[in-house]
Amino acid sequence: MDAEQFRHYADAVIDEERVFLPKQDREATLQAVVDEAVGLGPIEQLLRDPSVTEIAVNGPDSVFVEREGRMQRAGVTFADDTHVMHVIDRVLSPLGRRVDVASPMVDARLVDGSRVNAIIPPLAIDGPCLTVRRFPERPLRADDLVRNGTLDDALRCLLQSAVEDRENVLVTGGTGSGKTTTLAVLASFVSPHERLITIEDAAELRIELPHVVRLESRPPSLQSTGMITIRDLVRNALRMRPDRIVIGEVRGHEAMDMLAAMTTGHEGSISTIHASSPEDALRRLQLLAAIGDGEIAYEAIVDQVASAIDLIVHQVRLADGRRRIGSVASVQRGARRTPEVSELARWIPGSDHYELRGAA
């Protein structure tokens, strides 16, 4: 039974019971019943609000939302921990994912592409927590990022040229800094004649190109079998005749395979990585690659990074919640075959403009 059918059923029950409610109260009651029965309970009304970009359930009585980059109380609550767990299970069940004492944290996504993370006791001390990061109904485009101040026209041209010239780009920044949005915009600069393969833990990228293949990793089953990692997908993507590979986020052993792809005929690939600066991003990438393949000398991995990465786009989140590209840097192989970062553009604090340094 879908939401509309259940609504008609609940409406009929109210009539049969001869319960009188003012029209406004009746509508509110019907909506609450439908949300609880076939939706996601108290947060369903938040998901209908286009101004809400993030929902954070810290426990039954602690629900926050993000609007215009600022967190605030949501004004809704759950009955208890069991109620929160019921909503978490409703999110995960259609995806074949689970969360329990043996596996107390999980990443997933909603039908609309919203990113979901759940973590429960014993890891979450005060009760089950649910975080939902939402995305606009229409994917943001380069023009949108210029309008909202994430970048300016000059920087847009620089980045578009880099993508069209098939430079390998790494988007860096902290959590919630807008890396995924910028990644999708960069990918939109790819020629529509190219075959692009995206690889993610939870598929959320929406790239408006005609030839896009979306791949998503899979956690182990209840029997601890069938797990498909990002690394597995990267290796498989190389057999799918990709023109470019887009990895939603590099965070593990797949780093070495991504570097190999970038230097063996799949130039123009794009990915993101958590880091506080372009230099930190390179160091983290080197470490992840070394962990992923312990048989290769660290010096060789450093050389591979210097050869593979061409451009780093560093994203920042300002105190008022706005996201902005803080700097763009090129990566060159230095005299000792180590990567050297050279800044091409830097945002001028307090303005909407960038200082370009030697960029073509």
Question: 44 is in which domain, residue-wise?
Answer: 39-133
246 and 112 in a single domain? The answer is no
The overall average pLDDT reported for the chain is 87
Contact in structure between 62 and 26 (CB atoms under 8 Å): no
Domain ends where: 105, 133, 161?
133
CATH of the domain at 340: 3.40.50.300
153 and 122 in a single domain? The answer is no
129 and 152 in a single domain? The answer is no
124 and 177 in a single domain? The answer is no
Mind listing the pLDDT tens digit for each residue in 4-23? 665 665 556 555 555 555 65
CATH of the domain at 53: 3.30.450.370
| Residue 21 counted as domain residue | no
227 and 197 in a single domain? The answer is yes
| Residue 2 counted as domain residue | no
Residue 272 is encoded by which pair of tokens?
């993101």
95 and 169 in a single domain? The answer is no
Q: How confident is the model at residue 25 (pLDDT cuts 50, 70, 90)?
A: low
Give percent of the chain with pLDDT exceeding 90.
58
Please tell me whether the overall predicted TM-score, pTM, comes out greater than 0.85 for this model: no
| Residue 3 counted as domain residue | no
55 and 84 in a single domain? The answer is yes
195 and 276 in a single domain? The answer is yes
Mind listing the pLDDT tens digit for each residue in 99-152? 888 889 988 888 887 889 999 999 999 999 999 998 877 888 999 999 989 999
| Residue 337 counted as domain residue | yes
Amino acid 137: pLDDT: 78
Mind listing the pLDDT tens digit for each residue in 267-278? 999 999 999 999
- Number of structural domains found in the chain: 2
Contact in structure between 226 and 218 (CB atoms under 8 Å): yes
Amino acid 96: pLDDT: 75
Amino acid 1: pLDDT: 55
| Residue 26 counted as domain residue | no
Assess whether pLDDT exceeds 80 at residue 222: no
CB atoms within 10 A of CB 253: 17
Alpha helices in the chain, H assignment, sequence order: 3-16, 23-38, 44-47, 81-92, 142-147, 153-164, 179-187, 230-237, 254-262, 278-292, 298-308
Tell me the CA end-to-end span of the chain in Å, nearest whole number: 58
87 and 200 in a single domain? The answer is no
Amino acid 360: pLDDT: 46
Q: By mean pLDDT, which of 42-51, 96-105, 229-238 is the weakest?
A: 96-105
Mind listing the pLDDT tens digit for each residue in 302-360? 999 999 999 999 999 998 888 999 999 999 988 888 899 999 999 988 888 888 876 54
